[in-house]
Amino acid sequence: MTIDFEFRKSVMDYHVHDVLKYCFQCSRCTDNCPISAVTIDFYTTTGYNPRANILNALLGYKDAIFSADPLTIWGCTVCDTCDEVCPQHIELTEIFTFLKNESVKLGNAPEFIYGQAKAIYDSAKAIPSQPAIERRREQLGIPPVAAPDVNEVQTLLKNIGSDKKLK
């Protein structure tokens, strides 16, 4: 396995408090991960494993993360339980956010991720306003949702470069 030093550096730079390097692989993250609990097969190495992700990110094993089954990254359900149980106070979910952002650039993210980003780019809402729901709001006696400034949101996203990652 090759070590990608650039990747390793970007991981270290991303983690604000730089305590990532103090990970001693105790595995509290994986032991408490709800998705590890339902995907890891004890006798093989398949399934979602936050501990392994941290190790591979820390060592710069880029291929072990990005060339593997996308479940390796996207099995995370963003419950932040690992952050809470980590004895070294590593913000694992922030590292996983970085890995996911990189996976998006490679075009390997699940479809719904691109779908939601597209909806936000097009309508400034993850779930756009629909006539049927607008009527239901009226029936329920609640005011309409204030329409967001789509142009402003699009300008912001274009300047950041998010539009180029859309599919």
Partner 1 sequence: MTEYKMFEGCTIGNRIPFIEAASRKVFDKIGITTSSAPFSCCPDPTGMKSFDNNAWLALGARNLVLAEAEGKDIISLCNGCANTLRGVQFQLKHDSLKKEKVNAELAKIGKNYKGSIDVKHFVDVLKDNIDKVKGAVTKPLSGLKVAVHPGCHYMRPAEWMESDDPMRPTTLKELVAAAGATVVDYEEEILCCGSAVTNAYEEAGMANLKVKMDSVKGAGADILVVNCPACFQQFDTRQRDLGKKYETEYDIPVLYITELLSLAMGVSADEIGLKFHRTRMKLEDFGL
Binding stretches for partner 1 (CB under 8 A): 16, 34-35, 37-39, 48, 70-71, 74-81, 83-84, 91, 93, 97-98, 100-101, 104, 109-110, 112-114, 116-117, 120, 124-130, 133, 136-137, 139-143, 145-149, 152-153, 155-157, 159-160, 162, 165
Would you state the structure tokens that stand for residue 63, as one six-digit string? 């291929």
Q: Which is nearer to partner 1, 2 or 159 (CB)?
A: 159
Q: Which is nearer to partner 1, 52 or 91 (CB)?
A: 91
State the nearest-atom distance from the C-beta of 77 to partner 1, in Å: 4
Unique residue bearing structure tokens 């996207």: 74
State the nearest-atom distance from the C-beta of 20 to partner 1, in Å: 16
Contact 148, 103 (CB under 8 A): no
State the nearest-atom distance from the C-beta of 71 to partner 1, in Å: 6
Q: Which is nearer to partner 1, 1 or 133 (CB)?
A: 133
Residue type, 81: T
Q: Which is nearer to partner 1, 58 or 117 (CB)?
A: 117
Distances (CA, A) of 149 to 58, 121, 146: 41, 11, 10
Contact 157, 151 (CB under 8 A): no
State the nearest-atom distance from the C-beta of 72 to partner 1, in Å: 12
Alpha-carbon gap, residue 120 to 123, rounded angstroms: 5
Q: Which is nearer to partner 1, 3 or 133 (CB)?
A: 133
Alpha-carbon gap, residue 143 to 135, rounded angstroms: 11
State the nearest-atom distance from the C-beta of 43 to partner 1, in Å: 18
Would you state the structure tokens that stand for residue 101, as one six-digit string? 């952002």
Alpha-carbon gap, residue 47 to 32, rounded angstroms: 14
